[in-house]
Structure 1
Amino acid sequence: MTPRLALLPLCLLGSAALAAPVLDDAVRRRAEELTRTGLHPSIVIAVIEGKNSAVYGFGSVHAGKNAKPGADTVYQIGSVTKTMTGLLLAHAVVDGKVKLDEPVATLLPSYKVPAFDGKTISMLDLATHYSALPRLPDNFAPKDPANPYADYTEAKQRQFLAAYHLPRAPGGAFDYSNIGYAVLGTALAAQAGTSYEALLQSRIAVPLGMRSTSNQPSHGMLARLAPGHLLTGEATPAWDLNVVAPAGGVYSSARDMVAYLQAYMFKPLRPYALAVKPRRPLAPGSDTKVGLAWLLEQQHGHSYAWHSGQTGGYTSYAAFTTDGKRGVVVLTNTARTVDALGLSALLPGTPLPPLKKPLAAIEVPRAALAEYVGEYPSGAEFTLSVTLGKAGLEAAGTGVGSAPVFASAKDQFFFRAIDAELAFTRDATGKIVSAVLTQGGQDVVLPRKP
């Protein structure tokens, strides 16, 4: 097969190939470059225009083999799972089984759920990340950093909630919380008297014909699974999210995700419309609003809903314009963001950022590395611990396994396991006083603990 033919879209719907939605040229070129240079082993991009859709595959599912990804290649979708959990909440509300303002504690009577001065956490608080629960539970201590959630059980979730003290009242501010969505999924399953997986299948996957969507993938799905990869290019297993599955444990394919987005786009039923209704601002005065997991924004005169996801070896992006005219899904089997690629595919003409060249590591004497060792807290909930291991400097965040960091210049370091950089600042005497963690386009200043 010639390269030109290999890039023809895999038509899912529509009367003819000519009706297939076209992928923006800039997005196509970037996807080709990302896979050709090995930054992504494979990328699948689905483009939806109303009832028509097409899937474009780049790279290879298996290294060294001509195995292009396609509409039925399976990927872990990470936090895009949250939109499905939010939709399950919308279904329960429409069916009259749950109310958005209902305290989650009423659905989990055997749990001790924290409150703040009598203000309880509602189902809406969990679904919009306004619960005041942290991103990760404070008893999250994975035995295996390569599969960090595998040993986080419902018993540990229960213990966390019983001991945790909310720092502020629920409903006051957005604070992204994986454990919050785990609790939401647990509560919805408890109300329905079933498991989260059974609820996912009965309310979403089966009605929409999503045969390759599950938190518990079948043998057939696993046979079509694109192997996950770290940023270093090393293979890594898909995560087992256990009780945290409602926050990020679902596997799916481009074919299934097209059906999923079209359910929101084309004359949506009430649960779907309810899920993308703006509820709260992302921040005070922000134009970005939060629905039931979905983030709602406006750019270039277009309103759209979106969410992205990432696990140890996979990244995803799903979005659609709220007028139902265009939707996009991007799936890849490496832990490197595809948000910009997805947005540019959704809104053609949106500039793609320059492709960053991989940083080169330099040698630093071990005695000089010892200067950086210490703890760098950010409030009471997160501390970056920098240690000196056998192979060099390592950094670990609260509840996250340790990863090596590599020097690129004086006081400048980068990770290879995740897309992040670490810089250290000094005072007038030359003493290191803080670290700056750069990840996802954000800089977080972490003062050094004396």
Structure 2
Amino acid sequence: MNIRRPRRIRHGVIATLLLLQVTSLTAPAAAAAPSRREAIPAPSSTKWSRQDLKTKVDALVQPVMDSGYAVGYAIGLIQGKETLILGYGRTAKDSGRTPDGRTLFQVGSITKTFVGVQLADLARRNIVRVDDPIGMYLPEFVSVPEWGERKITLLDLATHRSGLPGLPADFLTSPSTATLGGEYTMTQLLKWLSSYRLTRAPGERFEYSNVGIAILGHIVGNIQGKTWEQSCLDTICTPLGMKDTRTVLTPEQQSRLARGHRADLDPVPLEEIGVMGPGGSLISSVEDLSIYVRAHLALIDTPLRTAMDIAMAGHASAEPIGEMGLCWIRLIRPDTNVVFYVGDTFGYLAAVIFDLQKKTGVIVLGNQDSTVNQDLAFQLWALLDGRQVEPLKLRKASEVAADSLIPYTGTYLVERSDDQRKENTDKTATVALYGEGLKVLLPGQFRARLFRESEDRFFLKGVSDAVATVAFIRDDKGRVGAMSIFYNGQTRVLKKIR
């Protein structure tokens, strides 16, 4: 891709100060990350011995394994200069191998933080300013959407405040979305960007945007005359010695890749993300990510120190969670200064959490796409923080004969919006037998396995930010006539039509 030459500024110090102080247009001034050279209060968290820590982690992880919510985990726990790596379960349902520190997992949106560090490094080197409009770094034919005189900047992309949606509309309707990338090209992406119309001013509010980070990642690479992945390798992975963090694996690395599984623990192939790669396609290990976290905690000497400080600084509000760094999220509490990110793909979920003051960190890599992994990671962080932690309370499926599930099967009519009524288009959901249980197919090709909790009541494991409940409703004759789906605080009733 041909790009315009970036506008440069004269003093790298100015760029660094700008990054540490800049905020969104509507957010209050954000606090800067603590300087590595400042005196940091002594940690108040409990320093566990390796054996005591393992015992406590076992008590939190094993119930998740026993409840059927996970296939395997590789977990890293950092306490100052010490790192404990633990493995649980299996690298695949049909494997007898337990994950370890060198087992590879797709880490999803953790990839975005690598893009943020690369952007910060370019700013540190006086190559870009984060308030540069992105049109400066895109081909001449691209017409970047604007809101009046307000242009989308690099900072808007990095803090999810660009006004761009999660994914392009044509990406979601493309046949290639079976692998979330496939044949969707950079040309298609840039044509979509040129045609998109903003619904609000950039910087106005937070909206998570995978496409925004994808565009940012490609810009970061193109500025240096490289692909985004090569830029990532040259800027971060190679200097830090992270030899197993990449998107394309060698045959030897392929042999160490854990098999991905859905939340219902059905195996799935490795997700091909394609042009959206900067948003989530990196593969890594606990050993490599431990290096990455320790570098952010200033436990490793690295030329990336300033860039990492810039990336972790609060640049915009991410209420009610905290603040957005350059792709990192900062959770601000009176006694801690925590930075984190969570990433999931079809088959994997990864979480990285670390405390800048207490020099502690948690890395959880799981080969199942379930938000239980995220919950477990925050439990482990609380454990390192010195708090009393109880095992997760997980819903358990009850055994049931397959023939007793037949009354629930059928086609259910989804409530239509006014526009859909005008277009005379109906959307339906299908419930069918699946092995010894049920599966539901919702509009948009979303499939999920239903687990029976009690009579007429089922649940879905690991769906987005909440565990959904599906209840079947019987008529006065005892026949199943409708299905009620409770998810994310909302309930929808679907009428059975056949």
* Superposition TM-score tier, normalisation by shorter sequence: 0.7 to 0.9
The equivalent residue for 1:443 is: 489
* Amino acid corresponding to residue 290 of structure 1 in structure 2: M
Alpha-carbon distance in 2 for matches of 1:266, 1:190? 29
The equivalent residue for 1:231 is: 263
* Amino acid corresponding to residue 395 of structure 2 in structure 1: K
Alpha-carbon distance in 1 for matches of 2:469, 2:325? 33
Alpha-carbon distance in 1 for matches of 2:482, 2:194? 36
2:132 is the alignment partner of 1:102: yes
Match of 2:357 among 305, 319, 323: 323
The equivalent residue for 2:396 is: 357
**Residues 59-98 of structure 1 mapped to structure 2, 5 A cutoff:** 59-98=89-128
User: For the Cα contact (< 8 Å) 2:135–2:144, is it kept in 1?
Assistant: yes
Alpha-carbon distance in 1 for matches of 2:64, 2:483? 34
Change (3 A) 1:326 1:404: closer
**Which deviations, in whole Å up to 9, do the C-alpha atoms of 1:24-56 show, x marking residues without a partner?**
644322322323444211101101122221200
In the alignment of these two chains, the number of paired residues is 414
2:422 is the alignment partner of 1:395: no
Alpha-carbon distance in 2 for matches of 1:328, 1:137? 33
Change (3 A) 1:125 1:227: same
2:379 is the alignment partner of 1:344: yes
* Amino acid corresponding to residue 67 of structure 1 in structure 2: R
Secondary structure (helix, strand or coil) at the match of 1:281 reads strand
Secondary structure (helix, strand or coil) at the match of 1:316 reads strand
Change (3 A) 1:377 1:218: farther
TM-score (normalised: structure 1): 0.82
User: For the Cα contact (< 8 Å) 2:107–2:350, is it kept in 1?
Assistant: yes
Alpha-carbon distance in 1 for matches of 2:471, 2:413? 8
Change (3 A) 1:303 1:333: same
User: For the Cα contact (< 8 Å) 1:42–1:59, is it kept in 2?
Assistant: yes
Alpha-carbon distance in 2 for matches of 1:435, 1:91? 50
Query: What is the CA-CA distance between 1:384 and the residue it aligns to?
Result: 12
Alpha-carbon distance in 1 for matches of 2:245, 2:406? 47
Query: What is the CA-CA distance between 1:65 and the residue it aligns to?
Result: 4.2
Query: What is the CA-CA distance between 1:436 and the residue it aligns to?
Result: 5.9
Secondary structure (helix, strand or coil) at the match of 1:57 reads strand
2:313 is the alignment partner of 1:277: yes
* Amino acid corresponding to residue 129 of structure 1 in structure 2: H
**Residues 126-275 of structure 1 mapped to structure 2, 5 A cutoff:** 126-140=157-171, 141-143=173-175, 146-266=178-298, 269-275=305-311
The equivalent residue for 1:56 is: 86
Match of 1:372 among 405, 413, 418: 413
Query: What is the CA-CA distance between 1:58 and the residue it aligns to?
Result: 0.6
User: For the Cα contact (< 8 Å) 1:21–1:47, is it kept in 2?
Assistant: no
**Which deviations, in whole Å up to 9, do the C-alpha atoms of 1:230-253 show, x marking residues without a partner?**
122221011111111110000000
Query: What is the CA-CA distance between 1:373 and the residue it aligns to?
Result: 2.9
The equivalent residue for 1:290 is: 324
* Amino acid corresponding to residue 378 of structure 2 in structure 1: L
Alpha-carbon distance in 2 for matches of 1:300, 1:59? 37
Query: What is the CA-CA distance between 1:217 and the residue it aligns to?
Result: 2.1
The equivalent residue for 2:73 is: 43
Alpha-carbon distance in 2 for matches of 1:359, 1:277? 47
User: For the Cα contact (< 8 Å) 2:412–2:428, is it kept in 1?
Assistant: no
2:145 is the alignment partner of 1:114: yes
* Amino acid corresponding to residue 308 of structure 2 in structure 1: Y
**Which deviations, in whole Å up to 9, do the C-alpha atoms of 1:319-362 show, x marking residues without a partner?**
11011510110001011121221112122134554122237787
User: For the Cα contact (< 8 Å) 2:411–2:431, is it kept in 1?
Assistant: no
Secondary structure (helix, strand or coil) at the match of 1:100 reads coil
Query: What is the CA-CA distance between 1:220 and the residue it aligns to?
Result: 2.0
Secondary structure (helix, strand or coil) at the match of 1:168 reads coil
Query: What is the CA-CA distance between 1:303 and the residue it aligns to?
Result: 2.0
Query: What is the CA-CA distance between 1:385 and the residue it aligns to?
Result: 5.0
Unaligned runs of 5+ in 2: 1-47, 420-424, 434-438, 474-480
Alpha-carbon distance in 1 for matches of 2:472, 2:327? 36
Change (3 A) 1:123 1:27: same
User: For the Cα contact (< 8 Å) 1:125–1:170, is it kept in 2?
Assistant: yes
Query: What is the CA-CA distance between 1:435 and the residue it aligns to?
Result: 7.5
The equivalent residue for 2:19 is: none
User: For the Cα contact (< 8 Å) 2:71–2:367, is it kept in 1?
Assistant: yes
Unaligned runs of 5+ in 1: 1-17, 427-431
Alpha-carbon distance in 2 for matches of 1:138, 1:444? 25
**Which deviations, in whole Å up to 9, do the C-alpha atoms of 1:94-143 show, x marking residues without a partner?**
01111110111111133222111231111111101001111121112242
Query: What is the CA-CA distance between 1:202 and the residue it aligns to?
Result: 0.2
User: For the Cα contact (< 8 Å) 1:372–1:386, is it kept in 2?
Assistant: yes
Query: What is the CA-CA distance between 1:144 and the residue it aligns to?
Result: 5.5
TM-score (normalised: structure 2): 0.74
The percentage of counterpart residues that share the same residue type is: 26
| Segment of structure 1 superposing worse, 235-244 or 346-355 | 346-355
* Amino acid corresponding to residue 354 of structure 1 in structure 2: K
* Amino acid corresponding to residue 62 of structure 2 in structure 1: E
**Which deviations, in whole Å up to 9, do the C-alpha atoms of 1:360-412 show, x marking residues without a partner?**
7873747x95453344699xxxx995434776852134xxx332564968996
Query: What is the CA-CA distance between 1:163 and the residue it aligns to?
Result: 1.5
**Which deviations, in whole Å up to 9, do the C-alpha atoms of 1:170-215 show, x marking residues without a partner?**
0010101111111111111121111011101000100000000002
Rg bigger for which structure?
2
User: For the Cα contact (< 8 Å) 2:339–2:353, is it kept in 1?
Assistant: yes
Secondary structure (helix, strand or coil) at the match of 1:271 reads helix
* Amino acid corresponding to residue 246 of structure 2 in structure 1: S
User: For the Cα contact (< 8 Å) 1:315–1:335, is it kept in 2?
Assistant: yes
